[in-house]
Amino acid sequence: MKVLIKTEIPGPNSKEMNQKRIKSVADGHGSVCGVYIKKADGSNLIDVDENVFIDYAGGIGTMNIGHSHPRIISAIKTQLEKFIHPCFTVAPYESYITLARKLSDLVPISNNCKAAFFNSGAEAVENAVKISKSYTGRSGILVFSHAFHGRTQMTMSMTYKEDPYKKGFGPFLPNIHRLEFPSEDKILNLISSDFDPKTIACAVIEPVAGEGGFIPVSINAMKNLREFCSKHDIVMVVDEIQTGFGRTGTLFAIEQFDVEPDLITLAKSIAGGLPLSGVVGKLEIMDASHVGGIGGTFGGNPVACAAALAVLDIIEDEQLSTRAIEIGKKVRYKIKSIRNYCPWIGGIRGLGAMQGIIIINPETGEADKSRTSRIHQYALEHGLIMINAGTYGNVIRTLMPLTIGNDDLDQSLEILSAAITNA
């Protein structure tokens, strides 16, 4: 759909809605853009003032299959007409089992696998940690700088960035040990660590740090981490909440690292926008927790499971992992073409369609958060909704639906490059 900006941004109807919001919604729950949405279709968002945007945020990476995909809507409707929520903990149903089987067969782990479902990404990470603690009888958790694992007490403690995620919310959980994130230019430094590996239940790593700034882990470091975990009987958990479901060019990013993890956490694009998350991994680890130790009222809700089954079919039928690679190439090509006259582009990094454009001060080489915010604002005013990332707030990230057509992609890249050039 062609981008159409009819009003100032935000428009009058959005502004009016924002006034209502201020009176009723807790301030702590922020929104990146001041435009309020009334319709979404494919890679477009249409706001309450009839402005048409292209969506590079994709519900923070939940919309890999695009907004309002007809097959998702049909799967949801079919399920709604049967039943909405008998609760798997009480009266179970088949779609949960089918999804658990499918994901267990799809994850790149050669052992027999099992799965369990929850609601949010944070819950999936919490449960992966709980399962690892049950399996190992240990309590330590190994995490990395730039990590983001969620906003609950445990996952916030595992998360790196102080402001806004941890500010004022301490004390944090003990026994969490942090290593430097092993990106391409860093080795996995386990030598200077201050913990006894025999106390560590699990190591949790994002194959590409998401909120931390779209930083891929180096392949060697991932292999070293695998060796370290195997040597010390530590459960290796790969957090694929943002990288999963085709985003990086393979169904799961870890497929590109020649490494088999023990557990994988999933959420975001798993169910085409419905709240669902999961832990999938080696059967003997997944079975370690006692009955009733994991679960929850809404975990694996049947409507979300029906949507998730449709998501897997759509990704395969529409070859969205391959499309992610094409999208990533186009983004990189465009950014490289403007780099010569935009010395504030510090680089572009990522895997597949998960690309992060780094904005720096060309004189000092330091992160330039305020220029990044100006780029974001310019793009928004010209019809492109984006979100930033990075520990220093200076990375523009691409999380557009992988179903985006070439016309929308070309249009959006023109807006993005104009925003980077002019802001």
Ligand X SMILES: Cc1ncc(COP(=O)(O)O)c(C=O)c1O
Distance of CA 293 to the CA centre of its chain: 26
Residue with tokens 């931390």: 212
Determine if 130 is a binding residue for ligand X (CB under 6 A): no
The contact pattern for ligand X, residues 42-71, with x = CB under 6 A and - = no contact, is ------------------x-----------
Helix (H, G, I), strand (E, B) or coil at 75: helix
**Residue 125: CB minimum distance to ligand X, A:** 6
Q: Which residue is nearest to ligand X (CB)?
A: 121
247's tokens: 């985003």
Determine if 334 is a binding residue for ligand X (CB under 6 A): no
Cβ within 8 Å of residue 9, ≥6 positions away: 34, 35, 51, 380, 381
Q: Which is nearer to ligand X, 182 or 197 (CB)?
A: 182
The contact pattern for ligand X, residues 173-212, with x = CB under 6 A and - = no contact, is ---------------------------------x---xx-
Distance of CA 359 to the CA centre of its chain: 21
Q: Which is nearer to ligand X, 206 or 408 (CB)?
A: 206
Q: Which is nearer to ligand X, 43 or 159 (CB)?
A: 159
- Per CB under 6 A, the list member of 69, 133, 138, 149 interacting with ligand X is 149
Contact window for ligand X (CB under 6 A) among 70-78, 135-143, 148-156, 308-316: 148-156
- Per CB under 6 A, the list member of 148, 160, 181, 392 interacting with ligand X is 148
Cβ within 8 Å of residue 243, ≥6 positions away: 206, 207, 208, 210, 252, 253, 351, 354
Say how far apart CA 221 and CA 223 lie, in whole Å: 5
Q: Which is nearer to ligand X, 125 or 379 (CB)?
A: 125
Give the closest residue to 227 by CA, choosing from 196, 199, 260: 260
* Ordered DSSP codes for 354-367: EEEEEEB-TTT--B
Contact 391, 161 (CB under 8 A): yes
Q: Which helix (H) or strand (E) holds 72?
A: helix 70-82
Determine if 242 is a binding residue for ligand X (CB under 6 A): yes
Q: Which is nearer to ligand X, 251 or 420 (CB)?
A: 251
**Residue 128: CB minimum distance to ligand X, A:** 10
Say how far apart CA 125 and CA 395 lie, in whole Å: 24
The contact pattern for ligand X, residues 256-285, with x = CB under 6 A and - = no contact, is -----------x------------------
Q: Which is nearer to ligand X, 60 or 305 (CB)?
A: 60
Say how far apart CA 423 and CA 420 lie, in whole Å: 6
Say how far apart CA 162 and CA 170 lie, in whole Å: 10
Beta strands in 13-152 (DSSP E): 37-41, 44-47, 52-55, 113-118, 140-144
- Per CB under 6 A, the list member of 44, 120, 321, 372 interacting with ligand X is 120
For β-strands 208-209 and 37-41, DSSP reports them as unpaired
**Residue 343: CB minimum distance to ligand X, A:** 30
Cβ within 8 Å of residue 349, ≥6 positions away: 214, 215, 216, 355, 356, 358
**Residue 74: CB minimum distance to ligand X, A:** 25
**Residue 301: CB minimum distance to ligand X, A:** 15
Q: Which is nearer to ligand X, 146 or 323 (CB)?
A: 146
Q: Which is nearer to ligand X, 308 or 345 (CB)?
A: 308
Q: Which is nearer to ligand X, 48 or 267 (CB)?
A: 267
245's tokens: 């479901």
Total chain residues near ligand X (CB under 6 A): 15
- Per CB under 6 A, the list member of 11, 150, 244, 261 interacting with ligand X is 150
- Per CB under 6 A, the list member of 116, 125, 351, 404 interacting with ligand X is 125
For ligand X, the binding residues (CB under 6 A) are: 60, 120-122, 125, 148-150, 206, 210-211, 239, 241-242, 267
